[in-house]
Amino acid sequence: MSDTAPLTQHRITVLLVDDQHMIGEALRRMLAPEQDIDFHYCQDPTKAIKTANRIQPTVILQDLVMPEIDGLTLVRYYRANPATRQVPLIVLSSKEDALTKAEAFALGANDYMVKLPDRLEILARIRYHSRGYINLLERNEAQAQLEKANRFIRKTFGQYLSDDIVDAILESPEGAALGGEKRFVTIMMTDLRGFTAIGERLPAEDVVGIINIYLETMTEIVLKYQGTIDEFIGDAIFVIFGAPILRDNDAKRAVACAVEMQLAMAQVNAKCREKGYPEVHQGIGINSGQLVVGNIGSKKRMKYGVVGRNVNLTARIESYTVGGQIFISENTMEECGRHLLRIDDQMDVMPKGVKKPITIYEVGGIRGEFDLFLPEKVEVVLVDLSRPIAIEFTVLEGKHAGESRYQGTVDKLFEKTAQISAEVSADKLVNLKISLFDHDGHEITSDLYAKVIKSVSRDPAIFHISMTSVPPSAASFLEHATTES
Neighbours of 70 (CB within 10 A): 13
* 412 neighbors 384 (Cβ within 8 angstroms): yes
CA neighbours closer than 13 Å in the CB half-sphere of residue 197: 22
* 437 neighbors 444 (Cβ within 8 angstroms): yes
CA nearest neighbour of 127 among 76, 85, 90, 78:
90
The DSSP secondary structure of 52-88, one letter per residue, reads HHHH--SEEEEES--SSS-HHHHHHHHHHSTTTTTS-
- Tens-digit pLDDT string for the chain (485 aa): 444 555 668 899 999 999 899 999 999 999 999 999 999 999 998 899 999 999 999 999 999 888 878 888 889 999 999 999 999 999 998 878 888 889 889 988 999 998 888 899 999 999 999 999 999 998 888 888 877 777 766 665 555 555 656 666 666 555 555 556 888 999 999 999 888 878 888 899 999 999 999 999 999 999 999 998 888 888 899 999 998 888 999 999 999 999 999 999 999 999 999 999 999 999 999 999 998 887 766 666 666 678 888 999 999 999 999 889 999 999 999 999 999 999 999 999 988 878 889 999 999 999 999 999 999 988 888 999 999 999 999 998 766 666 789 999 999 999 999 999 999 999 888 999 999 999 999 999 998 999 999 999 999 999 999 998 899 899 999 998 888 76
Residue 62, strand partner residues: 17, 91
Q: What is the pLDDT of residue 65?
A: 83
CA nearest neighbour of 468 among 452, 447, 451:
451
CA distance 351 to 77: 78
Residues whose CB is less than 8 angstroms from the CB of residue 226 and which lie 6 or more positions away in sequence, other chains included: 162, 164, 165, 241, 245, 247, 253
CA distance 49 to 15: 10
Q: Decide: helix, strand or coil at residue 261.
A: helix
* 209 neighbors 275 (Cβ within 8 angstroms): yes
Residues whose CB is less than 8 angstroms from the CB of residue 387 and which lie 6 or more positions away in sequence, other chains included: 439, 481, 484
CA nearest neighbour of 69 among 54, 49, 87, 88:
49
Angle at 466 between CA 462 and CA 468, to 5 degrees: 140
The DSSP secondary structure of 200-248, one letter per residue, reads HHS-HHHHHHHHHHHHHHHHHHHHHTT-EEEEEETTEEEEEESSSS--T
CA distance 144 to 5: 11
> Which amino acid is present at 468?
T
Specify the pTM.
0.66
Q: Decide: helix, strand or coil at residue 16.
A: strand
* 432 neighbors 394 (Cβ within 8 angstroms): yes
Q: Decide: helix, strand or coil at residue 47.
A: helix
* 452 neighbors 428 (Cβ within 8 angstroms): yes
> Which CA distances in Å does 18 have to 121, 420, 433?
19, 101, 91
* 43 neighbors 32 (Cβ within 8 angstroms): no
Domains of the chain: 12-140 (3.40.50.2300), 183-373 (3.30.70.1230), 383-484 (2.40.10.220)
Residue 385, strand partner residues: none
Q: What is the pLDDT of residue 2?
A: 45
Neighbours of 147 (CB within 10 A): 10
CA nearest neighbour of 221 among 205, 207, 241:
241
